[in-house]
Amino acid sequence: MTYVITQACGGTCNTACVDACPVDCIDGPLSREAMRGGRLQMFIDPNECICCNACVSECPVDAIVLDTDASAADLARNAEFFRRKDGIVPG
């Protein structure tokens, strides 16, 4: 089991969860352009998350849920972010 950040995170520009994570598994498009466009959303790497719960209470919009409670769309968005980050572009 791991945590997933849902679409509710989008546009909040809040990164308190990043600071709370002891294993540095939360990432996102932190460019100025993404922040200005309201597209900022953070993502949790499922291969690194230790399910410690530290990030959950830091989220001001309750966007962090267990993967078993996340929608298929949120799971797909999360997986896509890390595929692109790792240089794997879908074909």
- Average pLDDT (51-64) is 95
For residue 66, what are its two tokens? 């267990």
Q: How far apart are the C-alpha atoms of 5 and 89, rounded to whole Å?
A: 21
Q: How far apart are the C-alpha atoms of 71 and 89, rounded to whole Å?
A: 23
pLDDT at 85: 73
Query: Residue 26 sits in a domain of what CATH number?
Result: 3.30.70.20
pTM of the complete model: 0.83
Instruction: State how many domains the chain has.
Output: 1
pLDDT at 1: 85
In a domain, 90, yes or no: no
Task: State the number of CA atoms in the 13 A half-sphere of 5 facing the CB.
Answer: 30
Instruction: Residue 19: give the domain boundaries.
Output: 3-85
In a domain, 91, yes or no: no
pLDDT in tens, 75-84: 999 998 888 8
pLDDT in tens, 5-37: 999 998 777 889 999 999 999 998 765 555 555
Count of CB atoms situated within 10 Å of the CB of 72: 7
Nearest Cα residue to 66 out of 81, 42, 46, 41: 46
